[in-house]
Chain A
Amino acid sequence: MFRHTFNTGVATALLLSLAPAAYSQELVIGLRAGPDSIDPHWSTLGSQAEALRHIYDTLVDVDETLQLKPGLAESWEPIDDTTWDFKLREGVTFHDGTPFTAEDVKFSIERIPEVTGPMSMTLYTKYVDSVEVIDDYTLRVKTKGIAPALPNDFTRLFVVPSETGEGVGNEEFNAGDAAIGTGPYRFVSWEPKGDLVLERYEDHWRGKTPWERVVRKEIPDDAARVAALRSGQVDLINYVPATDYVSMKNNSEVETFISDSVYILNVQPSVKDEEPQPIRVNGEEVEGNPLQDLRVRKALDLAINRDVLVNVVLEGLGTPANQLMPEGFFGYTNELGEREYDIEQARALLADAGYPDGFEVDFTCTNNRVPGDAVVCEALAQMWSRLGLTVNAQALNGTVFFPAAAKEEYTMAMSAWGTLTGEAAYTYGAMIHSKDPEKGFGNFNRTGYSNPEFDEVFVRGTQTLDPEERRKIYEEASLIAMEDRALIPTVILQSVWAANADKLTFTPRVDQETRAYEISPVGEQ
C-alpha cells in the first residue's frame, strides 16, 4: 500500500511538473499555533503576528535572520534625537481598493492603545510620543527620548485603513468585515483554534504569490500534526518533534527544513543576598548565597557539556550557545569563543569557593514551553551532579512556572528566551539591566543581577542613534554580561519543518514564522 501510494505520488509529481501552474494553486499548512484574533492590534503573540502578516503588511519588515528590510516604508532615518521620518511606498492599495497613505499608519499607531489585550501591543509604540503626517507618503514620528530601536519596534506595526474607524474590535475583524489590509492575501474565514482560510490578493506590491488559496490549519498536538502530514491532509507542518524528525530523515516521501531559532535555554542563577529557595550543605542551610560567587557560577557553566546536550539530549536539533543571542544578531560579539567543558576545573573552582563537597539546590524549569526544555533541564541536573551538587530538578507547566518566576520564587531556574527583535537591546534591557521600573528596564531580571558597569554601557547604547557605534556598544555589553555569567546560556534550539517531498521549497526563518508567500512550489522558482 505504502509503495503504491509512493509510486502514484512520483507519477503525479512527474505529470504535474509539466504543468506546475495548474498544480500550485492551494497550499495547506498544519501549524502548532494560530492567531487569537484577526485584529492585528490585539496581541503581540508570535503566532498571531505570523498569521496576520498574510493579511496586513508591517511598516518595516525583517528577513529570515531578523535583519531589517523595507516593508510599507521604503526607507527611514532619524532627523534629530527625537524625530524619525519614514518614507512610504507609493502605489500600494488595500484589499478594498483604497490607496494606502500616511494617514493609515497614523491611524494604526493611535489605534493600538485603544484595542490591545493582555499581551499588549503598546510594547511596540512605547517610544512614540506623537505622529505627524507630512504628506501622503511621509510620516514623522516624535519619540519619548532617544529611540534608536524604533524601526525594530515597527516590524510589528500592522497597518489597517484609517476608514476602519473607532470602536471596531475583535468581533468585526473575526467576522471579516474589518479584516482589510494591504497584505499578499485576503481574509476568507477563521474560527478560534480552527482554520484560517486566505486567498491571493492579485494587486499586492511585492507581486503575485504562487498560491491562489492558503489554508492554515491549527493542529497543536505534535503527533496529530505529523499524522496530518503523513496522511496527506496538509502539505507542510512546523514544529516537528525531535523523535519524528529522526524517522523522517530516512523517509524519501518527506522533506525536512531546519533552522536555528531565536530561542536559547538560559540558566538563571539568583544572585540575591538571600536566595528564594534555600541552598543546603549536608542538610544545613548555608550562610549567604553561594551563587553570588562568580567562581560558583563559572563552575556551573564549565560543568555543562553542550555537545552532549545537542547531540544526545536534543537528537541533534540544537547548537551550543555562548551568549544570549544567535550569531549574526545585532550585538552578538565574536570575541567570545566556544564554551569549554572542563569538569576538573569546575570542581577546583567550586572547592576554591568553599564548597568542595558541593551543595544541594533546587532547579526549576518549564516542560511545555519549547521543544526539549524538560529533557535539557534533567540533563543539566545530571551534569551538575557529576560536579558534586545535589540538584532537585523540577520541570513545571508554564502556567505554573511563569507566575512563580515573576514573583522570583526560584533560586535556580531555566527558561527559553528569544531575541525576537533580532537586536540586543530587547534582551539586555529586559533580563540583564538592573531592575528599574522608572526607566522600564530589568522587568525580566529575576536573578537580582546588578552591575553598574553593564548598566552604563547598555544605557549608552540606547542613547546612540548611529547603528555601527551602537552595535559596538552592545557587543561590549555582551562581553560583560557573559564574563559575569549573569545568565548561563546552554543551547540554541532549532526548529524543523516537514513537507511532502517534491511539492514546495522555502528558506526557514530564525523567528520560526511560516510565511506562505515565501514558500515556492518546486519547479517554479
Chain B
Amino acid sequence: MLGFVISRLLQAIVVVFAMSIIVFVGVYAIGNPIDVMIDPGATAEIRENLIRQYGLDQPLWRQYFTFLSNVVQGDLGQSMVYNTSVTGLVFSRLPATLELVFVAITIATVIGIPAGVYAGYRPNSFAAKTIMALSILGFSVPTFWIGMLLIMGFAVELGWLPSGGRGDVGTLFGISTSLATANGWSHVILPALNLSLFKMGLLIRLSRAGMVEAMQTDYVKFARAQGLPDRQIVLRHVLRNISIPIVTVFGLELGSTLAFAVVTESVFNWPGVGKLIIDSILQLDRPVMVTYLILVVILFVIINFTVDIVYARLDPRVRLGGSR
C-alpha cells in the first residue's frame, strides 16, 4: 500500500509540474496582459515601464523560472488586478464554492442513487420510466438555461427565494459559512439545485444500469433461491457490487463541480472561485490563472487518489494490482 501511495504522489508532482508549464506557455501565447489592462490614454513610456515592472519583457523561460523559484519559496505571487496575494484571494473565495458544491452533491446523491436503484429494481414500472425521463432532462438541458428558469420561477414570479448572491454568513463549527443561517440557506438552495441536476441525472443512470445488470447475475439468483429477502440482497450485496463505477464518477464529478461551477456561479452571482477564475482569464491576470489551475490539478490528483483508496477497500483485486 505504501508503494502505491508513493508512486501516486510522484505522478502527482509530475502532473502539477507539467501543468504549470502548459498554463504558462498558453497564457504567454495569448499575449501581454498589459495590452488587455492598460488604459487607452496611456503613453508608450507608461506602457514600457509597466511591462518592465511586471517582468513581461523577459523571455518566457526566465519568467517561468522566476515564477518557479518564487513558488519554491512559498510565494505564488500577487494578483495583477487586485494586488493582493493570489493564495489569499483564492482561499477567500473557496468557502463559497465549497458550500455550494457540498449542498449540490448531497442533493444529487440523496435523491439520485435511491431513485436510480429503484428504477433499476423495477425497470418497467411507471415510476421508473418517469425517473429515467427526468434524468435525461437533467443532463441534456444546459445548466445556465435551467438556472434562468429556476430564477424566473422561484425568484421573479413567486418571490420565494432570492435571485442570487450569497446571503448572510454565520459560523458553524468554527467555519464561516452561509449554511449557518436561514438567510444563507435561502440563497444557496437554488444554485445548489441547479448545480446538482446534471450529477443527479448521471447518478440515476449509473445506478440504474448497475442495478439492472446485477439483478440478473448468478449471485442474486442464488441468493433469491436461498430465500433471502430482496431488501437484504440489494442493500448488502448488490449495492456493494455496483458502487465501483459510482464512486469513480462521483469522484470525478466532485472535482469538476468544484473546479468548474463557473456557469452556475455566474448565473446566480455566487462569489466563488469559478467566477474569480473567469474574471481573471478575461483580464489575463496571469498569477491568478496559473495558481488556480495548479490548485485544480492538485485537487483532481487528491480526488483520484482518494477514489483509488476507496476502490481498494471495495475491491481487493485493485489493491493487489496497484502494489505490484
Q: Which residues of A approach B to under 8 Å, CB–CB?
A: 1-2, 5, 36-37, 42, 44-45, 117-120, 122-123, 126, 169-171, 174, 191-194, 217, 219-221, 223-224, 227-228, 230-233, 368, 397-400, 402-407, 417-418, 420-421, 426, 429-430, 437, 440, 443-444
On whether the beta carbons of A231 and B266 are closer than 8 Å, the reply is no
In chain B between 23 and 61, which residues have their CB closer than 8 angstroms to a CB of chain A? 30-47, 49-50, 54
In contact, A403 and B36 (Cβ under 8 angstroms): yes
Cβ–Cβ contact B281 & A399, under 8 A = yes
Which of B44, B80, B156 makes the CB contact (< 8 A) with A230? B156
Chain A proximity mask over B242-264: 1 for CB below 8 Å, otherwise 0: 00000000000000000000000
Let me know if A397 and B282 touch, CB within 8 A.
yes
Shortest Cβ distance from residue A58 to the other chain B in the assembled complex, whole angstroms: 16
| Residues 268-307 of B at the A interface (beta carbon under 8 Å) | 268-269, 271, 275-276, 279, 281-284
Q: Are the CB atoms of B32 and A193 closer together than 8 Å?
A: no
Also in contact, A443 and B156, with CB within 8 A (given A194-B271, A399-B282, A406-B35): no
Residue pair A430, B80 in contact (C-beta under 8 Å): no
In the docked arrangement, what's the CA distance between A407 and B266, Å?
Answer: 32
Provide the bound-state CA to CA distance between A169 and B35, in Å: 24
The smallest C-beta distance from A226 to any residue of chain B, in angstroms, reads: 9
Chain A residues with Cβ below 8 Å from B2 are none
Complex CA distance for A406 and B32, rounded to whole angstroms: 9
Complex Cα spacing A461 to B31, Å: 35
Whether a CB of chain A sits under 8 angstroms from the CB of B95 is no
Q: How far apart are A234's CB and chain B's nearest CB, in angstroms?
A: 9
A228 neighbours in B (Cβ, 8 Å): 163-165, 269
CA distance A437 to B47 in the complex (A): 11
Q: Cβ of B83 < 8 Å from any Cβ of A?
A: yes
Q: Quick check: is B89 within 8 A (CB to CB) of the other chain?
A: yes
Task: Determine the chain B residues whose CB is within 8 A of the CB of A120 once the complex forms.
Answer: 38-39, 42, 46, 49-50
A501: min CB distance to chain B, Å: 16
Residues of A within 8 A of B80 (CB): 117-118
Would A231 and B156 be within 8 Å (CB), given that A118-B37, A403-B32 are in contact?
yes
* Cα A405 to Cα B80 with chains together (Å): 21
Q: Please name the residue on chain B nearest to A406 by beta carbon.
A: B35
Does B22 reach chain A (CB closer than 8 Å)?
Answer: no
- A118 near B50 (CB under 8 angstroms)? yes
Residues of B within 8 A of A418 (CB): 40
User: Is the pair A406, B31 in contact by a Cβ cutoff of 8 Å?
Assistant: yes
Closest chain B residue to A174, Cβ basis: B84
Beta-carbon nearest neighbor of B266 in chain A: A221
Pair A123/B41 contact, Cβ less than 8 Å: yes
Contacts A2-B157, A118-B50, A443-B43 hold; do A224 and B164 have CB atoms under 8 A apart? Answer: yes
Partner of B54, one of A37, A118, A429: A118
Q: How distant is B141 from chain A, measured CB to nearest CB, in Å?
A: 16
- Across the interface, which residues of A come within 8 angstroms of B275, CB to CB? 193, 220
- Smallest Cβ distance from A276 to chain B, in angstroms? 15
A122 to nearest B CB, angstroms? 6
A232, B54: Cα distance in complex, Å: 43
Q: Which of B45, B84, B267, B284 contacts A170 (CB 8 A)?
A: B84
What are 7 A-B contacts with C-beta separation under 8 Å?
Answer: A2-B157, A42-B83, A123-B41, A224-B269, A400-B30, A407-B31, A443-B44
| Distance of A398 Cα from B40 Cα, bound (Å) | 14
Q: Quote the shortest CB–CB distance from A93 to chain B (angstroms).
A: 29
Specify which chain B residues have a CB less than 8 angstroms from the CB of A421 in the assembled complex: 41
Closest to A230 in B: B156
Known: A117-B81, A224-B268, A406-B32. 18 other contacts (CB 8 A): A1-B158, A37-B82, A117-B83, A118-B37, A118-B81, A193-B271, A193-B276, A220-B266, A227-B151, A227-B164, A398-B282, A403-B30, A403-B32, A403-B35, A405-B35, A429-B41, A430-B41, A443-B44
B146 to chain A, nearest CB (A): 13
Sorted nearest first, the 6 A-B pairs with minimum C-beta distance are: A403-B31, A440-B43, A406-B35, A437-B44, A231-B155, A44-B39
> Is B157 within 8 A of A1, CB to CB?
yes
Contact A223 B41 (CB under 8 A): no
How far does the alpha carbon of A421 sit from the alpha carbon of B151 in the complex, in Å? 39
- Interface check B148, CB cutoff 8 A: yes
A230 to B154, CA, bound (A): 12
How many angstroms from the CA of A14 to the CA of B271 in the assembled complex? 36
B123 within 8 A of A: no
Alpha-carbon distance between A78 and B275 when the two chains are bound, in angstroms: 48
- At the interface, is chain A mostly helix, strand, loop or mixed? loop
Chain A hits for B284, CB < 8 A: 399, 403
Nearest Cβ on chain B to A181's Cβ, whole angstroms: 19
Decide if A440 touches B45 in the complex (CB within 8 Å).
yes
Select B155's contact among A123, A192, A227, A403, beta carbons within 8 Å.
Answer: A227
- Asked if A426 and B164 make an inter-chain contact with CB atoms under 8 angstroms apart, the answer reads no
- The answer for the CA separation of A512 and B157 in the assembled complex, in Å, is 30
Inter-chain CA distance A356–B82, complex, in Å, is 54
The chain B residue sitting closest to A121, CB to CB, is: B39
Contacts of A37 in B (CB 8 A): 82-83
A118 with B34, Cβ < 8 A, contacts A193-B271, A230-B156, A231-B162 known: yes
B114 on the A face (CB < 8 A): no
Cβ < 8 Å to A, chain B residues 143-160: 148, 151-152, 155-159
Q: A5-B159, A192-B89 are in contact. Are A36 and B81 (CB under 8 A)?
A: yes
* B282 and A368 within 8 A (CB): yes
| Distance (whole angstroms) from the CB of A124 to the closest CB of chain B | 9
Tell me whether B7 is interfacial, beta carbon within 8 Å: no
Residues of chain B contacted by A404 (CB below 8 angstroms)? 31
Partner of A231, one of B44, B81, B151, B276: B151
Q: Which of A1, A119, A171, A437 has the most CB of B within 10 A?
A: A119
Which residue of B is nearest A404, CB measured? B31
Minimum distance in angstroms from B281 CB to a CB of chain A: 7
Query: B32 touching A126 by the CB < 8 A rule?
Result: no
Q: When chains A and B are docked, how far (Å) is the Cα of A417 from the Cα of B165?
A: 32
Determine whether the beta carbon of A220 is less than 8 Å from that of B279: yes
Q: Assuming the A-B contacts A37-B83, A170-B83, are A119 and B45 also in contact, with contact meaning beta carbons closer than 8 angstroms in the complex?
A: no
Residues of A with C-beta under 8 A to B40:
417-418, 420, 430, 444
Contact of A171 among B54, B84, B279 (CB under 8 A): B84
Chain A hits for B279, CB < 8 A: 193, 220
Which residue of A is nearest B96, CB measured?
A194
With known contacts A122-B46, A126-B46, A398–B36 Cβ distance under 8 A: yes
Bound complex: CA A420 to CA B92 (Å)? 34
In the complex, the answer to whether A224 meets B266 with C-beta atoms within 8 Å is yes
Complex contacts, A44 vs chain B, CB 8 Å: 39, 41-42
Tell me whether B267 and A221 are in contact (CB under 8 A): yes
A400–B148 CA distance with the chains assembled, in angstroms: 29
- Asked if B83 contacts A119 (CB within 8 A), the reply is no
In the bound complex, CA of A440 to CA of B42 (Å)? 8
Q: Across the two chains, which residue of chain B brings its CB closest to A440?
A: B43
The distance in angstroms between the C-alpha atoms of A1 and B157, with both chains bound, is 7
Give Cα A375 to B156, complex, Å: 29
How far is A142 from B34 in the complex, measured between Cα atoms in Å? Answer: 30
Cβ–Cβ contact B159 & A224, under 8 A: no
Q: Which residues of chain B have C-beta atoms less than 8 A from A1's C-beta?
A: 157-159
CB pair B39–A231 under 8 Å, yes or no, is no
